[in-house]
Amino acid sequence: MYIRPVQHSDLDALCVLAKNSGVGVTSLPDNKQKMAAKLEHSLASFEKTIPEPERLYLFALVDEENDEVAGICALEASIGHEDVWYNYHVGKSVHASRDIGVHKVTKTLYLSNDLTGCSEIATLFLMPDYRKDQNGQLLSRSRYMFLAEFPELFGPEIIAEMRGYSDDNGDSPFWESLGRHFFQMEFSDADYLTGLGNKVFIAELMPKFPIYVPMLSPEAQAVIGKVHPQTEPALAMLKSEGFDFNGYIDIFDGGPSVSVKVKDIRAVKESHVYLAGISEKTPAPNYNEKHGLLLVCNRKLNDYRVILVNKGAAGDDTLWLTQKQADILNIKEGDTVRAVALRPTEAS
């Protein structure tokens, strides 16, 4: 399995992914035209034919055995440029009077565009059949290698918006208690429109004045900053790379935004550049050994590749690859590669 930038020929495969992703993965619209536009956007970004802040990098996880696209992930260079980027900032208001012994701190949601200009860890979706052999880890963490290799293409800070809590019926308590009052629409419909690139239109319908949290339903209050149960593993992964809740939530489902400075990402800090050597004796990756794997990427923007190799492949300065691995990475002996442990060493 390897990571590469998406290509023209991926369109049908991407549509299949979108169809499978369902509610909650808002940036994968189940709409071929929109998906094609997204694909073009990514191609133009890798070719640097559009301005830096507008760039969107889409990566595909490909099965080299059958050339099937098993998953997709994305990096957004800078958010809030074409559209306006909205969050609620979870702040506080204090109502106090010494005279009558009142001092009350009230959580308050402030509509903000504060995260404008941050880079974003965006879309990620992996087909259910491929949720094994560390594929999810490879797909997700490959992006940090891209950030480590090309930091100049991104802002100093990067965020990830986490899917907020919704129940088995797809109902979001946060939406029901807040957004719902401002236009009659099911959460799944709003979510669909958002995926079609209408997020900003919906955002414009949301309340502009601060929202006092105690005025929301107890259910809604309880899910502010909470992720969807299925998103817990993704959150744990981001946290292990240094991401943390930054006090901003999604205006629709109340899901948290997490962020980190690009230079402080674990994989960025700890990755090293090695000389590539070819050896058929290099140990094969053992996917059952969580801490025995390395992410390896080539250092080419347009033909970016990432694979997983056995930790034992790394020497002091040289990383030993089989010819097949080198072919997948599209490198020759003597080229340089970047590598880092797939997971942080401490068991986090």
Partner 1 sequence: MLVVRPSTFVDLTGIERLLNDTDARVTTLPKERDKLSEKISESDDGFRSGIDGDGPASFLFVLEDTDTGELHGTSGIDTEAGNGYPFFNYRLDEIVHASHHLNISSKVPVLFLSHELTGRTLLRSFSIDPQMRDTDGFDLLSRARFMYMAANPDRFNQEIIVEIQGIFDDKGVCPFWDAVGRRFFDLDFLTADYYCSVKSKTFMSELIPQHPVYVPLLPEEAAANIAQNHAAANRTCQLLYREGFHKSKFIDPFDGGPVLKGQLKYTHTYSNIRFKNAKPSEVIGGMKYLISNQSAHNFRCAITTLVDGIGDSIRIPLDVAHALNIREGDQVAYSPL
Q: Which of residues 35-54 bind partner 1 (CB under 8 A)?
A: none
Dihedral of the alpha carbons of 199, 44, 261, 348, in degrees to the nearest 10 = 80
100 counts as binding partner 1 under rule CB under 8 A: yes
Report the phi/psi class of residue 134: left, alpha or beta, with left for phi > 0 and alpha for psi in -120 to 50.
left
Using DSSP's 3-state secondary structure scheme, residue 202 falls into: helix
Q: Which of residues 194-223 bind partner 1 (CB under 8 A)?
A: 198, 201-202, 204-207, 209-212, 214-216
99 counts as binding partner 1 under rule CB under 8 A: yes
Rg, the chain, Cα only: 22
What are the Cα distances from residue 316, in Å, to 6, 80, 274? 33, 43, 8
Cβ distance to partner 1 smaller for residue 167 or 204: 204
> Does the annotation count 89 as an active-site position?
no
Vertex 191 angle, CA 210 and 219, to 5°: 55
Q: Which string of x and - marks every residue 150-189 that binds partner 1 (by CB under 8 A)?
A: ---------------------------xx--xxxxx----
Of the listed pieces 16-24, 54-62, 97-105, 326-334, which binds partner 1 according to CB under 8 A? 97-105
DSSP calls for 213-262? GGGS-HHHHHTTTPBPGGGHHHHHHHHHTT-EEEEEE-TTT--EEEEEEG
104 counts as binding partner 1 under rule CB under 8 A: yes
Cβ distance to partner 1 smaller for residue 52 or 186: 186
193 counts as binding partner 1 under rule CB under 8 A: yes
Count, in order, helices (H) and strands (E) of the chain.
10, 15
Distance CA 124, CA 198 (A): 20
How many residues belong to the site for partner 1 (CB under 8 A)? 32
323 counts as binding partner 1 under rule CB under 8 A: no
Q: Which residues bind partner 1 (CB under 8 A)?
A: 93, 95-97, 99-100, 102, 104, 106, 108, 177-178, 181-185, 193, 198, 201-202, 204-207, 209-212, 214-216
Supply the residues annotated as catalytic.
228
